[in-house]
Homo-oligomer: A and B are copies of this chain.
Amino acid sequence: MARAPEDGSGAPIAIIAGGGQVPVHLARSMADRGLSFVVVMLKGDADPALAAYDHIAVNPVELARFKRFMLDRGVRTVTLVGSVRGRPDIGRFRPDWTTLRFIGRIVGALGRGDDALLRAVVRMMEDGGLTVVGAHELEPDLVAPAGLLGSVAVPRGQRASIDTGVAAATTLGALDAGQAVVVVGRRVVALEGAEGTDAMIERVAQLRAIGRLGRKKGGVLVKLRKPGQDIRVDMPTIGPQTVRNAAAAGLSGIAVHGENTLVMDRAATVEAADRAGLFLVGLTPDPVALIAGEGPG
């Protein structure tokens, strides 16, 4: 757990917000609990709803503006949440002097995977004296526990698919390519690259529609933390849309990395899974395995 929210210093925590609904949920929850925070909205990514809070909107390379805002507000703790879809097109920026000091490190990381890029950003912030905490430390309810989340049990016949998926996702993660795979039977039919989890699941729906998967129903989405992934800044995430996509692709369920996965709007996510008849299970955090929620089917 982070000490920051409870340390009594009164200094606001900065939510550095990429795209998607996680930053919005986090801000709303922190506001509800009366916690002090400010929002750094990443231009082109952050949800406009975040402008309702004390905020600044910056380009990822406008480090001088970012730094000034942090100093002005007395921020000492930051959390990075949400997706950064586009990668900054370095050629279009006129970076400031603060940025230039770090630009080599960032550019070096850009050519590699997401982890390398985020590690460079985190190191830069820590060099600047900031403490980086994970959204799950600020809002534990955002995290999937190990065990069954909804009311649909894992059919016995899907256990081998989950095992295959865990092996494949672990291998994929070691390449720093993606976090998720879809397994039908014992066959890995889709692996996530730069397209992201949603686009990968849609591909499975298309393959199924044209008869390329052999079976008309079934299959599992397995989404895991990558071995080198810093969950303070980049946690695997699912939400109601993930469940709806999985149902549309004819999958039987979703297995995520217990205690290592953000669930956006858990009530809506679980309800969507229950309604669609999909199981939703958190695997043991380490080593990753199915421990709970097994059913007779």
Interface string of A186-219 (1 = CB under 8 A from B): 1111111111000100010001000111100000
CA distance A167 to B86 in the complex (A): 26
Number of residues in A with C-beta < 8 Å to the partner?
38
Indicate if the CB atoms of B168 and A177 lie closer than 8 Å: yes
Main SS of chain A's interface residues?
loop
Indicate if the CB atoms of A176 and B188 lie closer than 8 Å: yes
Interface string of A97-114 (1 = CB under 8 A from B): 000000000000011110
Indicate if the CB atoms of B176 and A87 lie closer than 8 Å: no
Q: Given A112-B187, A113-B188, A185-B112, A194–B177 Cβ distance below 8 Å?
A: no
Indicate if the CB atoms of B187 and A89 lie closer than 8 Å: no
CA distance A182 to B195 in the complex (A): 12
Copies of the chain in the assembly: 2
Q: Does A151 count as interface, using CB distance less than 8 angstroms?
A: no
The one of B86, B111, B113, B189 that contacts A194, using a Cβ cutoff of 8 Å: B189
Indicate if the CB atoms of B203 and A195 lie closer than 8 Å: yes
Residues of B within 8 A of A85 (CB): 212
Residues of B within 8 A of A214 (CB): 86-89, 110
* 24 A-B pairs with C-beta separation under 8 A: A85-B212, A86-B211, A86-B212, A86-B214, A110-B185, A110-B214, A111-B185, A111-B186, A111-B187, A112-B185, A113-B187, A167-B175, A171-B174, A172-B191, A176-B187, A176-B188, A177-B187, A177-B191, A178-B191, A189-B193, A193-B203, A194-B212, A194-B213, A199-B203
Q: A177-B188, A194-B207 are in contact. List 20 more A-B contacts (CB 8 A).
A: A85-B212, A88-B214, A111-B185, A111-B186, A112-B187, A113-B186, A113-B187, A171-B174, A176-B188, A177-B191, A182-B193, A188-B193, A189-B194, A190-B193, A191-B192, A191-B193, A193-B203, A194-B213, A195-B203, A203-B203
